[in-house]
């Protein structure tokens, strides 16, 4: 009897920990709850280890990820998989087997808040393997350096170096890639890097080969407004909670974590921050850039007075290489046609929607792929054990767009 009671208590405690009220429209809520419970457990354990001085929270998380997810480069009958370097940056290459012919090429940057994950993770390995096989394309998945050891602009420089090498005549010839059919892509923080690289290289007139397309998967593109409608609506929706995103930004920009409350209050972008001009504010003015169905009844949060000097202390907040949404219209207009995926239940939804809108205003052809039941990170959960329905749909549509536009 006592064992039964103890078991019932433990079961109730587990159910209480796992259960999380979620929006009614989110895809397969119980799967997301279980995923979130696992993620929260790792985050809490890493925070405890950090507080006790055992190790940095990011190091523990990455050790867990490596233990669970990292896989060796294993070829299969359809695709040859190898680990190499691209512009000096570790990269996993997926090269279809078969006849010797020119193929499409995609360079891919993984997500993880510029601090977590790897191109060698099972989820990214599966995604890139599927892309290579379904598209009959050469896929190069880049392992850029991570925070806290590397901070902005290190990750950007790695992405840029790898991309320049990817577009070089020598590499294109080595792997049989068609120079007229190359794309830069990435998800979340990787989408940030892909957008920044697309801006830089599209404006570089010395390059003989340029990207034909950019495919951005729920990208993070700005850190001046943590009160967009999607940040307000989805602040407590897993797996990317609003405070986590502020923490990732501060880690990436090499800033003190004590600034997190200031960012979450929008004190860093208050009107008394003279370094933020009206022109800059207009580039992320969601009241003008978002459609009514996304703005809903949310109100902007703009402080008259905040914390003077934050922008000066963290200049990366205003750097377009870190925040591509702040780019000038002329720069955006030179970038290639774009695919921008967004999810309704994602704090980053409006970053992607605003960027797509600004690209269109600059004359760029944009395909917006929005998932009303989607959540952040859903695309990399398209396989077991998560096997998310919206993840599977998003992968299919992403690959279909690449097939039709590359």
- Report d(CA 183, CA 241) in Å as an integer: 30
List the one residue out of 92, 52, 55, 57 whose CA is nearest residue 72. 92
> In this structure, are residues 162 and 91 in contact, taking their beta carbons and an 8 Å threshold?
yes
- Report d(CA 355, CA 352) in Å as an integer: 5
How do the pLDDT tens digits run along the chain, 406 residues long?
544 544 433 333 344 456 677 888 999 988 998 988 888 888 888 888 888 888 888 888 888 877 888 999 999 999 999 999 999 999 999 999 988 899 999 999 999 999 999 999 999 999 999 999 999 999 999 999 999 999 999 999 999 999 999 999 999 999 999 999 999 999 999 999 999 999 999 999 999 999 999 999 999 999 999 999 999 999 999 999 999 999 999 999 999 999 999 999 999 999 999 899 999 999 999 999 999 999 999 999 999 999 888 999 999 999 999 999 999 999 999 999 999 999 999 999 999 999 999 999 999 999 999 999 999 999 988 887 788 999 999 999 999 999 999 9
- The single residue listed with the structure tokens 């030179």 is 334
- Report d(CA 260, CA 40) in Å as an integer: 19
DSSP 134: H
**Per-domain boundaries in the chain:** 66-222+325-405
> In this structure, are residues 92 and 125 in contact, taking their beta carbons and an 8 Å threshold?
yes
Angle between helices 389-405 and 122-135 in degrees, nearest 10 = 40
- Assigned CATH for 66-222+325-405: 3.40.50.1820
Q: In what order do the strands lie in the sheet with 337-345?
A: 79-86, 89-96, 137-142, 103-109, 177-187, 213-217, 337-345, 366-375
Length of the chain: 406
- CA distance to 28, 114, 356, per residue, from 13 (Å): 22, 34, 44
- CA distance to 69, 92, 140, 213, 273, per residue, from 107 (Å): 21, 10, 5, 11, 37
- What's residue 19's pLDDT? 67
DSSP 241: -
- What's residue 9's pLDDT? 32
- Residue partners of 30: CB distance under 8 A and separation at least 6: none
- Report d(CA 307, CA 118) in Å as an integer: 36
DSSP 243: H
Task: Give the strand pairing for 89-96 and 79-86.
Answer: antiparallel
Active site members? 188, 346, 376
């Amino acid at each position: 009897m006592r064992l039964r009671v103890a078991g019932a208590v433990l079961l109730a405690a587990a159910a209480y920990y796992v259960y999380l009220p979620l929006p009614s429209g989110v895809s397969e809520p119980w799967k997301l709850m279980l995923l979130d419970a696992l993620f929260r457990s790792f985050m809490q354990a890493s925070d405890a280890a950090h507080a006790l001085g055992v190790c940095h929270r990011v190091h523990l998380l990455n050790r867990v990820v490596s233990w669970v997810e990292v896989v060796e480069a294993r070829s299969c009958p359809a695709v040859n998989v190898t680990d190499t370097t691209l512009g000096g940056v570790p990269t996993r290459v997926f090269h279809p087997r078969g006849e010797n012919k020119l193929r499409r090429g995609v360079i891919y940057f993984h997500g993880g808040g510029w601090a977590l994950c790897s191109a060698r993770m099972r989820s990214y390995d599966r995604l890139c393997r599927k892309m290579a096989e379904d598209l009959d394309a050469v896929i190069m998945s880049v392992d850029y350096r991570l925070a806290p050891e590397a901070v902005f602009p290190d990750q950007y420089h790695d992405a840029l170096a790898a991309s320049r090498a990817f577009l070089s005549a020598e590499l294109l010839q080595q792997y049989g890639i068609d120079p007229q059919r190359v794309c830069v892509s990435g998800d979340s923080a990787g989408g940030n890097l892909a957008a920044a690289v697309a801006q830089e290289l599209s404006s570089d007139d010395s390059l003989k080969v340029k990207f034909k397309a950019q495919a951005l998967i729920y990208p993070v593109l700005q850190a001046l407004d943590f009160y967009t409608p999607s940040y307000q609506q989805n602040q407590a929706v897993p797996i990317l909670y609003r405070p986590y995103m502020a923490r990732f930004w501060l880690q990436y920009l090499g800033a003190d974590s004590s600034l997190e409350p200031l960012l979450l209050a929008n004190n860093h972008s208050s009107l008394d921050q003279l370094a933020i001009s009206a022109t800059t504010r207009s580039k992320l003015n969601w009241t003008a850039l978002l459609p009514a169905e996304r703005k809903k009844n949310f109100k902007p949060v703009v402080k008259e007075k905040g914390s003077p000097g934050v922008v000066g202390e963290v200049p990366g907040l205003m750097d377009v290489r870190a925040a591509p949404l702040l780019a000038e219209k002329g720069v955006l207009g030179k970038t290639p046609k774009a695919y921008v995926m967004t999810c309704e239940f994602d704090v980053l939804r409006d970053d992607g929607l605003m960027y797509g809108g600004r690209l269109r205003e600059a004359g760029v052809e944009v395909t917006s792929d929005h998932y009303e039941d989607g959540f952040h990170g859903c695309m990399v959960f398209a396989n077991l054990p998560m096997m998310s329905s919206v993840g599977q749909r998003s992968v299919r549509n992403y690959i279909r767009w690449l097939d039709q536009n590359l």
